[in-house]
Structure 1
């Protein structure tokens, strides 16, 4: 039990450090290409437009960084 708890806390710490060092991750929808990739009727890939999730940037804000930014905004609003 102690080992599992310490591993979970260690994993959260590593993820928090990753979010602090590199707040952006590659988009899962377009794999960082920035374009929607579909296949034509022959099975060949083709780009059909700009990715809707990342808007063509290829990068998205990580969930942990989004939570950190939200909690920081709540703290600043309450401290006024």
Structure 2
């Protein structure tokens, strides 16, 4: 029974470690609004550059932004 509990507790930790490695190796992910197409369709059917990614189709991953925020707060506190 303890092996199941140990496995259940290690699963979220291993997922978090994998996501951290992914954010370090590849900090850019596809934009969730335009799905990496660099544009989105408006209500009348025309194409417009995506405002979230500025038409690049790539955005920083949430984990990367969180790590940069923590790093900036840490450096600001040490001054």
TM-score by shorter chain over 0.5: yes
User: Structure 1, unaligned stretches of length 5 or more?
Assistant: 41-45
Moved over 2 A (4+): 37-40
Q: Which residue of 2 aligns with 1:68?
A: 67
Alignment coverage as a number of residue pairs:
75
Please identify which structure carries the higher helix content: 2
RMSD: 1.6
Listed one character per residue, the Cα deviations across residues 55-75 of structure 1 (whole Å, up to 9, x for unaligned) are: 101001101000000000001
1:13 aligns with 2:51: no
Q: TM-score, normalised by structure 1?
A: 0.84
Q: Which runs of 5+ in 2 are unaligned?
A: none
